[in-house]
Structure 1
Amino acid sequence: MPLITRFILVFLPLSTVCTISYSYEYVRIPLVIAVQEEGNETIRPLVELTVKRLSQVERRRVPELHYLSLEKLKDQNSLIGADYLIASASVFAALEKYSGLKAVASVRPVISVNPDHAASTAILVDKQSSLKTLKDLKRKVIGVPAGSSPDERIHVLNELKVQGFSDPKFVDFKAISVNCEEWLKNFRNGSIDALALNPLSFKKIPESFRMQMNLLEPRIKDDYILGHTTATYPGWVMAATLEAGKKETLYMEAFLKSLPAVDGLSWAPQADYRQLHQVLTSLDDPFYKSFRKRTWREIVEENLIWFALAGVLIFSWLLHTLFTTALVNKRTRELSEANERRLKAEEHYHNLEKASIVGQMSNIVAHELRQPLAAISNYSLAIRRRLSKGNLDEEALSFAISKLMSESGRASEIIEHVQRYAKGKPSDWKSFSIDELLRSICDNYLDSQQNPLVRYEARGGQEFNGDPLEVELIVRNLIKNAIEAAEQTKSPDILLTLESEKGAFRITVSDNGLEISDDTLLNLREPLKSTKIGGLGLGLSIVKRISEAYEGHVEFAKNIPTGLKVTVWLYSKARKDK
């Protein structure tokens, strides 16, 4: 074989694959989740699981945890750039009022009835102490472990107020060591008289220490199983900041509810924090007000010296500006020229990108036209064969012609659809029954005995706003590959399911093909790098591209006991140009 021929056969396929792969490259941006530092030890395993699972399912964003202290959270600018905040109930209540945060999901211990009763505080005293009731705490010191959330102190203050001890100086609070072995020493040397502790934290300390403590006025037959003194309140919460979009927040809420419990804690629907707002307001606690934005007058009075210094600096800067105007003008001209060069480079880049997209559409045409063209060829050969035998009646001819027209129309739709992509025109979106579309697709897959090759199950509403041809391309590609994978088994089993909830549609195709490895499953997430394992080939790139156009994504999972399960998420929204 000539050398130039070998070069063409090797280089051209490689260049085509590289061009197609390039169009799928994207940059993953951070998904910032801020976490309150104080008191997060009890929920840290749940937070770590959440981030781990989120990083596995989130394709476009990379979850990042940013721990912020209470002092930083009081500065509303500290949440700039953060999408979500995980905070204790009292901190969230303050930020909800003064910063506009919205609850997404609340933490619920398995021992509580519901998220509205997920937290409380245990007031503990030494067994050798004479303190028996809350009334005995008058003018006493209550120790709070350093780094605890403000919730314990708020719970105690409200409990005292409810029982008639509303004097703000009724008790004093003191930060103590987090080491439980030091607590008994604090009791014995008189530095504290009682201890305010989260019941979940108290449950985890050694039994030998718990046996030396008494729970003050324990509640029984309550909606919180662990021993506690105060009333129950909502617990920790994940809240959405102003940076998070509404659709993303709804997705996050559904994702959190799907996670399993960790160390007896799980995510639950957002609790009702109105009672906590009332408690914080009635206590008139400085902590609650510290999250309020200060007025300009307060800021100026607190920083009068700095404002005077700023005035001097501004005056100096104005003088300096008179001498640097010429340099600024020169630099402006240079930047204008550089910006013009950048615009030309961007225009060149967009032209290259468009050429890459057109190249990829050509592959889609070649791949998708095989089915209708193969059908047209088969029906044409059947007509010619029956004509040669002289047994072609009018009914058979009419049936064959209708099939030829149907497949020809389908091929024409595919070509027209690809031309829209290439020319940058929007797809032909409309409202249609996705259930009827999937059923008609399944009816086309029959074995030689006219038995269905694909089982179909549907749950939920089926009205969908989009392009029927795009949905059909997704399903036909997945079914085709599933059939190829299941052919290697004695009893092929292919299942197509449709589920819908709040505008989100989940289409799943599962087969019982050969078992696949973890590495192969991981590689399936990379565009145009998958193998035929599990029945996925070139059509996977089409599935991913269309699902992303509907703000969805594709998930891969091993089927039990063997085979592959491919799930495509699509979101039915108001039409917009893609």
Structure 2
Amino acid sequence: MKDMTEQKNSILFRTSSLFIFAVLFSFSLHLSSPSFAIESNKNKTSEKITVGYIELSQSNVHNELIDQTKTWLAADLNGDVEFKSLTVDGLSEAIKDHDIDFVLSTSGFYREHLSDGLKDLATSVFDRGPNPNKSLGSVFIALKDNTSLKELKDLEGKSVSTLPESSFVGWQIAAREIGTATGTDPHKFFGSVRYQPMPMNNIVEDVLAGRSDAGILTTCLLEELKQKKYQGIEKIKVINEKKSSDFFCAHSTKLYASYTLSVLPGVSGEMARKVTNALLAMPPSDKNSFFWSIGTDFHEVDALLKDLQIGSFFYLRNLTLRKFLEKYWSFLMMAAFVLFGLCLHTLRTQQLVRIRTEQLSQAFQRQLQLQQEAAESCQRLEKAERQIALQHISGVLAHELKQPLTSMGYFIGGVIRRLRKKDPDVEDMIKTLEKVAGLTKYSSLIIENVREATKQKIKKESLDIDKFTARTLNSLKETFLIKRNCSLTWKSEPYLKFFCSPFELNLVLTNLVKNAVEAADGPNGQVRVQIHSIQVRNRKLLKITVSDNGKGSPENIKKHFSMPFSSEKPEGLGLGLSIIKRIAESYEGRVEVEAERPKGVRITVYMKMMS
């Protein structure tokens, strides 16, 4: 009986224990259920809430929005609201520690903390920025006197003052604009950056004092400072100013959603609804007509965070395969396409190389054949050239030796006639024979110079032109002009030195004078020779002019320059004028033929005077 009683007590104990455990488990489930959370949050509607906001400089136009919001919410919630002014970093810490319930911040700060569970309730607008999605930006300023700064690219390498990098309006908006407009890392774009604490007036002072070339301000601050007649503000200009149809403050960047009020996850839906209704019912402020609206587009804000790799996009700074593929997908596709193209190009090139090799092989065989034919042609050409050269040399010898040999014949004939007389004049015969000896020496000189010309070893020396001319023309008078009815006069520049071959200069003078004498031979025939130096630009030239009053014409004479071996004289070879032209060209000169007034021809030879 006792055992049965103990057994019943044991079963009763176990049953009661199980019942108590079931009750406790059910209660715990009830505490964690959404309905219980809603009930507990409903109880919080009567508790005091805390709104954290980013502290602004006194001149910031959005202080008016914050003051109006404080007053309105305090009245609507019967004073159950507390506002905390915090730095950007302090506000971030308060969110993580759940020390606040609502956040009043820039849209950039709000989107940067999406991972902390923030949810936007309302976005501010005002009379200068009535569009809630585009009513906040940054403006670049500089001194008006600095005319070199007009566009963003002009700021490269310059110094700039701005708020710390965590500031949405002070640095982040401007940094994205720099990166987008110039394709440059904003941290490497400027020569130096001065990060200034609040208020933003410090940035203006840096620019005015010349400590920085430029500054970055939030939009509408410049207009506020101008209204307050801030000292020196009239010296400030806007760089890269943009125009907008629904924003009426100077701005240098894109526009973004303005200040936003967001709620943390721990706040009840009822409280969030109550605060939202209060904000939307708030009347516009007195001065700038600030009021609350609904922001519908935070796309540009998210794009900014992604470009700067901050907030929810901070992971992009840690390079991973996925990040690499996402960021460089287009480049990888392009590289793959290029690689595929290179493969096709390689295959095509190999095919073309095979075809080209066959063509080159055939061309090589053809080239060998042509080279053989060319060699045979060159041999025939060399043979013909040797024949022409021999013909030319023989013509020169015949042309130049004719005059001295003819003169020697006259002199020797005269000596023979004198010897046949009973009492010959020995002195006169000696003088005649000396002339013959001189002509013999001159003939030997012609042969020697022709021989040296064929070897291209013509000897040159410095000649006294006045003496050389007199000697040469006197010799012609005594020989060639002895049976001519023509007068020869000459004038040469005294003390003039000319470095040349005596043989070549003699050929020029002799041929010019002989041709002129033959053309002017007759009653009143006259031949005039003038030799002097002239300066043409930077060149000093020897000018030889031979003129006659004969019946010749410049046109006929010019033909003989280009047509050797042609002559109008039955005994002539047609080489005189071509020899003159060749010699003049060898001295970097030329030959000119002109008509002489009232009749006759004037031939001028120019020869460069060597130092």
What TM-score results when the alignment is normalised by the length of structure 1? 0.42
* Bigger proportion of residues as helix: 2
Q: Which has the higher contact order (CA 8 A, sep 6+)?
A: 1
Larger Rg, first or second structure (1 or 2): 2
